[in-house]
Amino acid sequence: MSLETDTPESTGIDDIDWEEIDANAVRLDPEIFYKYVSLVLLCLLWAYDYIYRDPRLSLLDVDIPLGFTTFNLELNPGNVDYLMGLTLLAMFWWVAVPLARSPEMTKQYWREFRRNKAAVASLVFLAVILVVGLIGPLIIGRPSSDFGAMHEAPVFLGGTWEYPLGTNSRGEGIFKIVIAGMRVSMQVGLIATLIVIVLASIVGTTAAFSGGWVDEVLMRFVDLLMTFPTFFLILFLVYIYGGDLFMLIVILGITGWGGVCRLVRSEALQRTEEEYIEAAEAAGATMRYIVRRHLIPNVSNTVITAATLAIPFLILTEAVLAFLGFGDPDVWSWGRIIAEGRDDLGTAWWVATIPGIFLFATVLAFNFLGDALRDAIDPRHQIR
């Protein structure tokens, strides 16, 4: 279908030959391309590891010579670690890249965010926790028992530098335990939140934009989900299969998105009233395009804030389960260590207290961060 208007001379718009355009309509946005490539690479790696290799064997085991010593880098990622990789990829593509692409908006967010000193401190603290949690265990290794050094005091109470934060009843170093715990908490918080965000955003925006029976069905499902007894499901599964971090994260993720979904839907409902949505429809945009390009970016403020406030809840939930003994016995969850140390509070208070302080500080920092983000990226602040 070609346009038959007489082309005006000085418009800078040439007649567009839609037939030609339709024929060449292969969409290949470089950014989308790299997004998919990175995702596919991660999946391939997982498949290779899962299918072709013995799970007990390490994926990577190399000695890196560092001149005076050699450093042994051993990687044996489990399913949780692959999910964590996926989460980090998502954070890169959905948070880092958009922020970098519109530096002006980023600056404005930062100006707003910077006002809240507690939140800035929280951000730094959490960044440290994340980095140390991810890399630390690779460098210093996992805690190991040393029955010659049980209940050793931290260094500031007269202990030795071998165990700077003391040891527990099996002589495992609290320092290493705390760092291993950081990893677990971050994994639980971030991965489960990613699952929550993805499900809540897709379902919430689709329901809001479609309306009618689609909305009805999806939101009634959310109602059901929100009455679902997650705790008992976990107890049941732990009873049958034993505690497993992967399973725990996935269950927390896929049962916990109802509340965020409702928020997203109500926000998206307001957005669908906006005229830019109508303009896109009038231009012939598909529902998928509108949801992806307009609705999801414009509810992202709600999503990010809700997510930041969901993370501490998830971390605490995992800690509680571990404390009660329903956690994964193979991972160094802060909750489990606190439970273990509570009998020795009189003699070795540091065993329970130090992980407790870290748990408390992490949860508090996420709360501060969430509040400050809400203030900084609230669209009502953003415009004018």
Give the footprint of other proteins on this chain (CB under 8 A): 1, 3, 5-6, 8, 11-13, 15-16, 18, 21-22, 24-28, 102, 104-105, 273-276, 278-286, 289, 293-294, 297-298, 379, 382-384
Residue 298 C-beta: closest distance to other proteins, Å = 6
- The sign of the dihedral angle between the CA atoms of 245, 247, 252, 254 is positive
Residue 104 C-beta: closest distance to other proteins, Å = 7
Conformation bin of residue 12: beta by default, left when phi > 0, alpha when psi is -120 to 50: left
Residue 105 C-beta: closest distance to other proteins, Å = 7
Q: Which residues contact 219 (CB under 8 A, 6 or more apart)?
A: 207, 262, 265
> Concatenated DSSP letters for 103-146?
HHHHHHHHHHHHT-HHHHHHHHHHHHHHHHHHHHHHHH------
Residue 279 C-beta: closest distance to other proteins, Å = 6
**3-class SS at 61?**
strand
- Please, what is the Cα angle at 244 between 238 and 250, to 5 degrees? 95
- Please, what is the Cα angle at 252 between 251 and 254, to 5 degrees? 65
Q: Which is nearer to other proteins, 3 or 121 (CB)?
A: 3
Residue 98 C-beta: closest distance to other proteins, Å = 9
Residue 315 C-beta: closest distance to other proteins, Å = 30
Q: Which is nearer to other proteins, 54 or 275 (CB)?
A: 275
Q: Which is nearer to other proteins, 29 or 54 (CB)?
A: 29
Residue 271 C-beta: closest distance to other proteins, Å = 9
CB 317 within 8 A of CB 333: no
Q: Which is nearer to other proteins, 26 or 64 (CB)?
A: 26
Name the burial class of residue 207, with classes exposed (0-12), middle (13-18) and buried (19+) by CB atoms within 10 angstroms of its CB: buried
Q: What are phi and psi of 336, to 5 degrees?
A: -65, -45
According to DSSP, residue 284 is labeled T
**Parallel/antiparallel/unpaired status of strands 70-75 and 60-65:** antiparallel
The whole-angstrom separation of Cα 72 and Cα 64 is 6
Q: Which is nearer to other proteins, 57 or 283 (CB)?
A: 283
Q: Which is nearer to other proteins, 325 or 379 (CB)?
A: 379
**3-class SS at 63?**
strand
Q: Which is nearer to other proteins, 72 or 382 (CB)?
A: 382
293-330: burial string, b at 16+ Cβ within 10 Å, e else = ebbbebbbbbbbbbbbbbbbbbbbbbbebbbeebbbee
Residue 305 C-beta: closest distance to other proteins, Å = 16
The whole-angstrom separation of Cα 314 and Cα 189 is 6
CB 88 within 8 A of CB 94: no
Q: Which is nearer to other proteins, 12 or 148 (CB)?
A: 12
Q: How far is CA 122 from the centre of its chain?
A: 17
Residue 35 C-beta: closest distance to other proteins, Å = 17
Q: Which is nearer to other proteins, 266 or 382 (CB)?
A: 382
Q: Which is nearer to other proteins, 217 or 279 (CB)?
A: 279
Residue 152 C-beta: closest distance to other proteins, Å = 54
